[in-house]
Amino acid sequence: MYLKQFFIGVIIGGMLMSCGGNKSSEGDNKDSMSISEAVGGLKNLNKAGDAAKDWEKIQERLVAETPRTNDELKAMFPETLAGLKRSSFSVGETQMMGMGSGQATYSDDDGKTVALSIMDGAGETGSSMVAMYAITLAMETEQQTENGYTKTTKFNGNRATVSENKYDDNVNSEITTLVSDRYLVSLKGSGLSLNELEKFYNEINLKSLK
């Protein structure tokens, strides 16, 4: 049930980010930071409320939709992605939950690895999970550490969560976005910066996600 755990983790992570709010750099005045965070928190709550209202009708439509079949999901994962060969592949792990999802891993001999995961938000369970994440995406959040950052942003016309972290000589990055108000698409790159991972995202056939 790797995909189930993965997407639940993505959603919970997004919700924790929204609760954490924007983080200021060290040395800022604590009082001004508290006021800024309070104002930002109120704005995010308003955005979350508006997103929840907008998603009520979308979720009703998704509940009535039929999740993609395994064969349809397979077609979403090409044998190569931006020059990397597909090294593993799986679909159907979340069928018992009434959800359609799949994952493929792409790698090369230099140690670069990209994991592409797609979850179909059709059906009762899928629509609930996608709606929760859509609400977190409506907020403006950012977290920074000594190793990197995670934030919500606008990415290729869609709201997304992006991150990049560096450890010694290694860099990891991630992009998670909602496509066509239905599909949760996530790319995790090992040995790739966020700019490099964007090239892989642009190779995904998003036209098939409708």
Reading the block at residue 140, the tokens are: 């403006």
Tell me which of 14 and 178 has the higher pLDDT: 178
Question: Is pLDDT of 184 > 90?
Answer: yes
Residue 7 domain boundaries: 2-205
Question: Is pLDDT of 44 > 60?
Answer: no
Mean pLDDT of 120-124: 92
Highest mean pLDDT among 55-59, 76-80, 134-138, 152-156: 76-80
In a domain, 47, yes or no: yes
Per residue in 157-168, pLDDT tens? Answer: 888 999 999 988
Question: Is pLDDT of 48 > 70?
Answer: no
Mean pLDDT is lowest, of 25-29, 70-74, 170-174, 201-205, for 25-29
Q: How far apart are the first and last CA of the chain?
A: 25
At residue 25, the pLDDT reads 47
pLDDT band at 51 (very low <50, low <70, confident <90, very high): low
In a domain, 210, yes or no: no
At residue 8, the pLDDT reads 46
Written as one letter, the residue type at 140 is E
CA–CA distance, 145 with 116 (Å, rounded to integer): 25
Cα dihedral sign for 129, 66, 157, 105? Answer: positive
In a domain, 106, yes or no: yes
Torsion of Cα atoms, 183 then 102 then 7 then 179, to 10°? -20
pLDDT band at 172 (very low <50, low <70, confident <90, very high): very high
Task: Tokens 């064969």: give the residue.
Answer: 71
Question: Is pLDDT of 17 > 60?
Answer: no
At residue 43, the pLDDT reads 56
Mean pLDDT is lowest, of 47-51, 87-91, 103-107, for 47-51
CA angle 207, 72, 61 (to 5 degrees): 70
At residue 109, the pLDDT reads 87
In a domain, 150, yes or no: yes
At residue 13, the pLDDT reads 54
Write the DSSP symbol of residue 204. S
Buried b / exposed e along 132-153 (16+ C-beta atoms within 10 A): bbbbbbbbebbeeeeebebbbe
Quote the number of domains for the chain: 1
Question: Is pLDDT of 191 > 60?
Answer: yes
Question: Is pLDDT of 10 > 60?
Answer: no
In a domain, 154, yes or no: yes
